[in-house]
Amino acid sequence: MGQVNQQPAPQVQQQLDPNNEIVSGHQNKGEIVAELEGMGFDKPLIEQALVAAFYNKERAVDYLLNVG
């Protein structure tokens, strides 16, 4: 008998919702980082705060102001 090629079906990649707060924040990360750097915060801390705050700028600022 011949061998049947049993490859898994390709998965369809879902589009990310641009209205989602995390998606929006991640897409605007460069602008947010520049703005927070202008406020005097260091880039590595900004990036850490954004991840911790799920890319919500206001939460990230709160994190940056209260770290320490």
Query: Which tokens is 64 given?
Result: 């940056």
Q: What is the mean pLDDT of residues 55-65?
A: 93
Report DSSP state, residue 16: P
59 part of a folded domain: yes
- Residue 32's domain comprises 21-66
pLDDT of residue 50: 92
Do the Cβ atoms of 60 and 51 come closer than 8 Å?
no
47 part of a folded domain: yes
6 part of a folded domain: no
Rounded to two decimals, the pTM is 0.64
Do the Cβ atoms of 19 and 47 come closer than 8 Å?
no
What is the total count of domains within the chain? Answer: 1
16 part of a folded domain: no
11 part of a folded domain: no
1 part of a folded domain: no
Report DSSP state, residue 54: T
9 part of a folded domain: no
3 part of a folded domain: no
Q: How many percent of the chain have pLDDT more than 90?
A: 49
Query: Which tokens is 28 given?
Result: 């605007």
If you average pLDDT over every residue of the chain, what do you get?
A: 81
Distance from C-alpha of 52 to C-alpha of 66, rounded to nearest angstrom: 13
